[in-house]
């Protein structure tokens, strides 16, 4: 069983309205995937659903011609992630996993124990696009510039609960909060290696919209905590009861 290649594009997707691909995507389809003109490719842009397209153009300047819509856009989940950047490979992993697990936006936040201040939004966006293509998502999470945690919290809307995973103190499991969180746009905050400082923990716990939860008795690395917290939210409050998005096969 081979799957039809799937690409995120920036252009509108409308019947017989060709989409010019850039050099990178052209090379990917013709050199890496070794597709010939006339091959089928799936495309999505976060707006117009998913389209089956025909590959046209040249190896250096490929074109997708939308033939028919294969999936409608639907409405995404309003679940956003705030995370403190860590080492490069593990941060990349967080971007990829948060995309697979369906977040709508990713906000890097700088905390007292954050070791790195190099946050490359363009790199994060490339990683998110690749993960969205692979995971059968219909959109790509929005990636924001890094801001200090205190600043992010100072402009928070009270109506939006912020789930805060703190391994250094007692807290209830997420399941306890299911009914109060149902149907609400929500955010999840994960700290860096070493967690939050005592001052940050005090600040967080004093805020009305912050909901501390536990992720069990062991100390999880930051990227594990991201996957675990998003998994719990999606299974309890998200779209995990929906049918799988099966890729179209050739």
| CA gap 214, 177 in Å, rounded | 12
Chain length of the chain: 250
CA-only gyration radius of the chain, Å: 20
Show the binding pattern over residues 217-246: x = contacts a second copy (CB under 8 A), - = does not: xxxxx--x--xx--xx-xx--xxxxxxxxx
Residue closer to a second copy by CB (options 169, 207) is: 169
Q: How far is the CB of 97 from a second copy (least distance, A)?
A: 6
Burial 198-214 (b: 16+ CB within 10 A, else e): eebbeebeeeebbbbbe
Check residue 5 and report its DSSP letter: P
Residues 82-101, interacting with a second copy (CB under 8 A): 89, 93, 96-97, 100-101
Q: How far is the CB of 219 from a second copy (least distance, A)?
A: 5
Q: How far is the CB of 205 from a second copy (least distance, A)?
A: 15
Beta bridge partners of 107: 82
Q: Which of 17, 168, 178, 202 binds a second copy (CB under 8 A)?
A: 168
Q: Which stretch binds a second copy (CB under 8 A): 16-24, 36-44, 52-60, 171-179?
A: 171-179
Residue 216 as a binder of a second copy (CB under 8 A): the answer is yes
> In what helix (H) or strand (E) does residue 131 lie, and over which residues does it extend?
helix 121-134
Beta bridge partners of 210: 162
Pair 133, 159: CB distance under 8 Å? no
Q: Alpha-carbon dihedral of residues 190, 224, 130, 147, nearest 10 degrees?
A: 20
Residue 66 as a binder of a second copy (CB under 8 A): the answer is no
Which class for 38: exposed (0-12), middle (13-18), buried (19 or more C-beta within 10 A)? Answer: exposed
Residue closer to a second copy by CB (options 20, 239) is: 239
Q: Which of 37, 60, 173, 207 binds a second copy (CB under 8 A)?
A: 173
Check residue 209 and report its DSSP letter: T
Q: How far is the CB of 4 from a second copy (least distance, A)?
A: 13
Residue 65 as a binder of a second copy (CB under 8 A): the answer is no
Q: Which of 135, 142, 181, 209 binds a second copy (CB under 8 A)?
A: 135
Residue 22 as a binder of a second copy (CB under 8 A): the answer is no
The residue among 43, 54, 116, 96 whose CA lies nearest residue 223 is: 96
Residue closer to a second copy by CB (options 116, 135) is: 135
The residues binding a second copy (CB under 8 A) are: 89, 93, 96-97, 100-102, 134-137, 167-170, 173-175, 214-221, 224, 227-228, 231-232, 234-235, 238-247
């Amino acid at each position: 069983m081979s799957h039809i290649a799937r690409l995120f594009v920036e252009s509108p997707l409308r019947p017989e309205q060709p989409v010019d691909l850039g050099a990178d995507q052209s090379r990917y389809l013709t050199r890496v995937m070794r597709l010939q003109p006339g091959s089928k490719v799936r495309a999505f842009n976060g707006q117009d659903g998913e389209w089956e397209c025909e590959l046209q153009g040249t190896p250096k300047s490929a074109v997708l011609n939308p033939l028919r819509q294969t999936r409608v856009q639907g409405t995404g989940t309003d679940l956003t992630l705030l995370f403190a950047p860590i080492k490069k490979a593990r941060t990349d992993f967080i971007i990829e996993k948060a995309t697979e697990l369906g977040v709508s936006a990713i906000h890097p936040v700088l905390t007292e124990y954050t070791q790195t201040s190099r946050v490359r939004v363009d790199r994060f966006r490339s990683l998110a696009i690749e993960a969205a293509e692979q995971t059968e998502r219909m959109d790509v999470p929005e990636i924001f510039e890094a801001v200090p945690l205190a600043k992010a919290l100072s402009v928070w809307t009270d109506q939006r609960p912020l789930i805060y995973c703190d391994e250094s103190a007692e807290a209830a499991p997420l399941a306890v909060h299911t009914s109060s969180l149902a149907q609400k746009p929500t955010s999840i905050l994960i700290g860096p290696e070493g967690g939050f400082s005592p001052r940050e923990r005090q600040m967080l716990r004093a805020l009305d919209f912050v909901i501390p939860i536990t992720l069990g008795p062991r100390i999880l690395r930051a990227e594990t905590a991201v996957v675990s917290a998003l998994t719990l939210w999606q299974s309890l409050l998200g779209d995990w009861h929906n049918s799988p998005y099966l890729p179209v096969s050739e």
